Amino acid sequence: MNAIRTITAAVADIRGVALDDILSDRRSQRVVRPRHEAMYFAKVLTPASLPAIGRRMGGRDHTTVLSGIRRVEDRIACEAGYGDEIEAMGTAIRQKLPATGRFELVPPEDVDVEGLAARVEAAIAAGEQMTIYADQVAALAAQVLRLEQRLGAVTAAAEQQRADLSEELTEYRDALAIAAASTEDSPAVRAVLAAHRQFESDRYSSRERFAQQQLDRTLKALQTHFAAKDIAA
């Protein structure tokens, strides 16, 4: 059973209400307060994000979950003895949660990984300690693997582009060598030389693609020029 459902069932048992009532849309005070408490303990005792808690609390919105948590916190601050009651409930609920990690408390997709990373970074910067659940470590590891896969794909694509560009440059240099060897200072040769100089100037800029297209056109014109000369000869 998912940890959030385990917590909700434990609250229902302690408060003497049905689990289905907590998960339902019923709004009676007898049901609403245990529902808020279940939301509170789900946030305190698991690394689940508010949207994840809402999904497992009858498909509720994360703002509803946040409101429920704040209501419990307000009662703890204002209602005499309620804080002790909540603490006792928390102790009882913890005993129902596995401590060995033999099954997943919270799936990685339910963990707010970005928020967790920000909190870890802030704790490190402040030289503070913080508790991290095994679920959070698993979620962070899963995110690292996903990022490594994406980085690998991007790197492979960049390497392929670099190889393609190197091949094109080799073709350009060969064509330029032919042009340079020509004794005729023709407009076609001058156009290729000018386009190549412009391409080298615009490489790695926003104009690189346009410069490459222009160089391609001048090379094609030069090839046509030499082909015409061969036919005439």
Q: What is the pLDDT of residues 85-101, one digit of tens each?
A: 999 999 999 888 865 44
Helix, coil or strand: residue 48: strand
Residue 130 and residue 27: Cα distance in Å, rounded?
A: 37
Q: What is the pLDDT of residues 152-168, one digit of tens each?
A: 888 888 888 888 777 77
- pLDDT greater than 60 at residue 230: no
Q: Which one is predicted more confidently, 144 or 105?
A: 144
**CATH code reported for the domain at 3-110:** 1.10.1750.10
- pLDDT greater than 50 at residue 199: yes
Please state which of the ranges 65-69, 91-95, 101-105 shows the lowest mean pLDDT.
Answer: 101-105
Percent of the chain at pLDDT exceeding 90: 30
Q: Which one is predicted more confidently, 194 or 41?
A: 41
Q: How far is CA 129 from the centre of its chain?
A: 25
Q: Which one is predicted more confidently, 203 or 91?
A: 91
Q: What is the pLDDT of residues 42-60, one digit of tens each?
A: 998 887 888 889 988 989 9
Looking up tokens 């928390």 gives: 90
Mean pLDDT of 75-89: 95
The answer to whether 55 touches 4, Cβ cutoff 8 Å, is: no
Q: Which one is predicted more confidently, 127 or 169?
A: 127
Strand (E) or helix (H) holding 99: none
According to the model, what pLDDT value does residue 100 have?
43
- pLDDT greater than 70 at residue 71: yes
Using alpha carbons, list the distances in angstroms from residue 95 to 6, 28, 34, 212: 11, 29, 19, 68
The answer to whether 82 touches 75, Cβ cutoff 8 Å, is: yes
Instruction: Enumerate the domain spans of the chain.
Output: 3-110, 137-232
Q: Which one is predicted more confidently, 113 or 19?
A: 19
Residue 108 tokens read as 């990685």
Average pLDDT, the chain: 83
Residue 172 tokens read as 């350009």
Residue 127 tokens read as 């030289």
Contacts of residue 129, defined as CB under 8 A and 6 or more positions apart, other chains included, come to 123
The answer to whether 168 touches 199, Cβ cutoff 8 Å, is: no
Please state which of the ranges 134-143, 183-192, 201-210 shows the lowest mean pLDDT.
Answer: 183-192
pLDDT level of residue 121 (50, 70, 90 thresholds): confident
According to the model, what pLDDT value does residue 102 have?
38
